[in-house]
Amino acid sequence: MLRRPLYTASLETRKEIEKNVNELLDIDVIRNIGNNEIVEIPTPVLITWNDGKSRLCGDFRALNSYTKADRYPIPRIPHALDKLEKAKYITKMDCMKDFHQNEAKPNSMKLLRIRCHMGIYEYTRMPFGIKYAPAHSKRIKDTIFQEEILEGWMVVYIDDIIIYSETWEDHVKYIDGVLSKCTPINMEISLRKCNFGQKELLALGHKVSGLSLAIDQNTVAEVLQKQVPKNIKEMKSFLGFASYYRNHIKNFAHIASSLYKLCSKYVVFEITKKRRDAYERIKHELTNAPVLILPDFELPSKLYIDEAFLHQRQIVDGEPREGVICSISRKLKDSEARYGATQTECL
């Protein structure tokens, strides 16, 4: 059923909806549906918040259930950031309202209609909340910057473009080349969210440099201030967030195992002392997580199986340097739990 009722909204939310609708009308991302047009499938809108700013988002869950999945690959973030190894200069560019920069096909627009207390509107560009939007956006940028990506000095992750180099001269040349491609196709970059020629910067929830990878504590602060989850939805949200940084936490799967069991609909949701301790342990590990080193694939590495982490010794500016590349853990399957020590270590 694609038809969904209009959601009740507070006065503050209605004001934010009005502000966002007017902004999108001004830049031709949406258009007003005339009184004489037949409206069959309007979708209610939601207001989401990011960095203290509101964003209009259609509740397209019903439409997404009928939409074919786009299997275009989006890289795992650790693999993307590993490419910054040895980089002396890093630049991050943010594509402004990235999804809205892609035009919607005329025969799809009637499915992208939204409804609020102000009326009914139709997206003329790709909206937030659509199932295939991230993959579609990634495909477009991979096509535009195919040469740069293959040359090995650019990483694209949805709306983020990361440029890295070992010399300043190359870095300036790379930035100029990227911007020269953005201009003729009207790809807009948000200067407010850009960082140019940095030794270290925040990207994809991490503090990254050419040598190390740390958790961005500004990202985790708000989550860690929350109380113990009260239901399955809140627990899944917390575990999803914590799992994003599991490479920084030794034995994460073991620590979180009792919390994952709570996410089953066949288990009574009850926060026991053991589960509360596990929750607090994960919060502590997130705030005290070690800074990982980016791997140098030309050097040998050591895999510590009992402790489940990968270790490497490097020479940086003539000085020896060693540290953890990543911690690795997962829950054993029921059949694997009966393996002996040697078999388990070989997994």
pLDDT tens-digit series, residues 124-171: 999 988 888 999 999 999 999 999 999 999 999 989 999 999 999 999
Tell me the average pLDDT across 73-79.
86
Q: Residue 151: its pLDDT value, please?
A: 92
| pLDDT for residue 279 is more than 50 | yes
Residue-level pLDDT at 2 = 56
Confidence at residue 3, expressed as pLDDT on a 0 to 100 scale: 63
197 exposed, middle or buried (CB, 10 Å; 0-12, 13-18, 19+)?
middle
Confidence band of 41 (pLDDT split at 50, 70, 90): low
Residue 343: pLDDT over 80: no
CB count in 10 Å sphere of residue 222: 8
Q: Which residues lie across from 32 on neighbouring strands? A: 121
Report pLDDT for 36.
Answer: 59
**Are 275 and 259 a contacting pair, CB within 8 Å?**
yes
Give the pTM. 0.83
Using the predicted structure, report yes or no on whether residue 118 has a pLDDT greater than 80: yes
Question: How many angstroms separate the CA atoms of 113 and 185, rounded?
Answer: 26
* Nearest-angstrom CA–CA distance, 339 and 341: 7
Position 5 pLDDT exceeds 80: no
Q: List every span in the chain annotated with CATH 3.30.70.270.
A: 11-208
Residue 117's pLDDT band (boundaries 50, 70, 90)? confident
Distances (CA, A) of 207 to 54, 84, 169, 215, 339: 25, 12, 24, 6, 39
pLDDT of residue 314: 40
**Mean pLDDT to the nearest integer, 265-292:** 89
Model confidence band, residue 217 (pLDDT cutoffs 50, 70, 90) = confident
* Fold designation for 11-208: Alpha-Beta Plaits (3.30.70)
